[in-house]
Amino acid sequence: MVYAITEREYGKSLVKLLHVKRDGLVHTIKEFEVATKLKLNSEKDYIEGNNEDIVATDSQKNTVYLLAKRFGVSNPERFALLLARHFLNQYSHVVRAKIEVVEHPWKRITYSKNGPQHNHAFVSVPDCERSAKVTLVRNGTAQVESGLNKLQVLKTTQSAFVNFYRDEFASLPDMEDRIFSTVVKANWTYDTIANVNFDQAFEKVKLAILRGFAGCPDRGVYSPSVQQSMYLIQKDILDQIRQLRDVYMQMPNKHYFSVDLSKFPRVGSKTNDEVFLPVDKPSGMIEATLARNDFRAKM
């Protein structure tokens, strides 16, 4: 029998990094978790057990720290591009570098809404994580995919789910007005990175998700399904950021079911619109990728 290795790469994962930039009394921090993956121009390490071309995963870890020390860090995309380009420039036998960076955000401590920000003390920000993935092939152009994860949102009205397919397996009743909660994961791929401000693009995506989910502050926005809310958010993102090729989103249902209090007539009620039970599992999972038509035609 003849066998072929159809794909291969190796690297270092879960490389944790805290970078501190000190500008007098004002300090700035960035905390990243980095994964590096390299593909070599030979399979002899797999087939022959010959390790002479292997850039040790420990060396890759050291590279993360040394480049952060030498060049500093700004955002996940730029740091991933820096690492990917370094591995191809430093090692002629590396033909592909994949770098993934997840940012764990912090914000400066303040003691009031409009109060001064602390120079060197920070609190973890729980609203979402930011990530980036860069793939760079020798003599090719960098492919950049950005993302956010763990953005949990909830609204108490302006959401329904009715008129869905029914057969002998269906038991869910129509829901004219329900709690809608989800934990958003989104990834977006750039068609070009020329003149892209990654920080501004990230904030635009995050704002589009929040605005598409919540709507205007006084009236909100009606959602007939998670699917349509997702589609409208993705369309808004592509309309705003012309450099994007596509947007992937994942929106699992975080269910909150009304607690049945009718069993307690003296203290409860036949109807309950105030007390709900959070249910983690199982949950619905809705996901989709929206791409520009001109890109789909190339696939």
Together in a domain, 253 and 272: yes
Together in a domain, 40 and 161: no
> Residue 187 and residue 144: Cα distance in Å, rounded?
10
Give the pLDDT confidence of 75-95 residue by residue, as tens digits: 999 999 999 999 999 999 999
Task: Tell me the three state secondary structure of residue 191.
Answer: coil
Together in a domain, 92 and 201: no
Answer yes or no: 271 catalytic.
no
The per-residue DSSP string of 127-188 comes to S-EEEEEEEEETTSPPEEEEEEEEEEEEESSSB-B-S---STT--PPPBSS--EEEEEEEEE
Together in a domain, 81 and 186: no
Together in a domain, 9 and 127: yes
Opening angle at CA 102, ends 100 and 106, nearest 5: 155
Give residues with Cβ within 8 angstroms of 63, minimum separation 6.
Answer: 36, 83, 86, 87
> Residue 47 and residue 56: Cα distance in Å, rounded?
18
Together in a domain, 31 and 100: yes
Q: Of the spans 35-39, 125-129, 157-161, 257-261, which averages the highest pLDDT?
A: 35-39
> Residue 132 and residue 79: Cα distance in Å, rounded?
9
Out of 107, 140, 173, a domain closes at 140
Question: Which domain range does residue 250 map to?
Answer: 148-299
146 touches 131 (CB < 8 A) = yes
Q: Confidence class of residue 295 from pLDDT cuts 50, 70 and 90? A: low
Catalytic-labelled residue, pool 28, 57, 118, 235: 57
Answer yes or no: 120 catalytic.
no
Task: Tell me the three state secondary structure of residue 20.
Answer: strand
Together in a domain, 136 and 253: no
> Residue 42 and residue 94: Cα distance in Å, rounded?
9
Q: Confidence class of residue 297 from pLDDT cuts 50, 70 and 90? A: very low
Out of 116, 140, 164, a domain closes at 140
Inter-CA distances, 241 with 66, 102, 218, Å: 33, 22, 27
Count of domains forming the chain: 2
Together in a domain, 170 and 231: yes
Instruction: Tell whether the model's pLDDT for residue 298 goes beyond 70.
Output: no
Task: Tell me the three state secondary structure of residue 209.
Answer: helix
Together in a domain, 256 and 182: yes
Inter-CA distances, 262 with 177, 237, 268, 269, 279, Å: 20, 45, 6, 5, 20
Which backbone phi and psi does 87 adopt, to 5 degrees? -65, -35
Q: Confidence class of residue 289 from pLDDT cuts 50, 70 and 90? A: very high
> Residue 270 and residue 257: Cα distance in Å, rounded?
15
CATH at residue 152? 3.10.270.10
Task: Tell me the three state secondary structure of residue 55.
Answer: coil
Catalytic-labelled residue, pool 12, 30, 133, 185: 12
Catalytic-labelled residue, pool 19, 27, 44, 255: 255
Answer yes or no: 61 catalytic.
no
Give the pLDDT confidence of 93-124 residue by residue, as tens digits: 999 999 999 999 999 999 888 899 999 998 88
Opening angle at CA 241, ends 235 and 248, nearest 5: 50
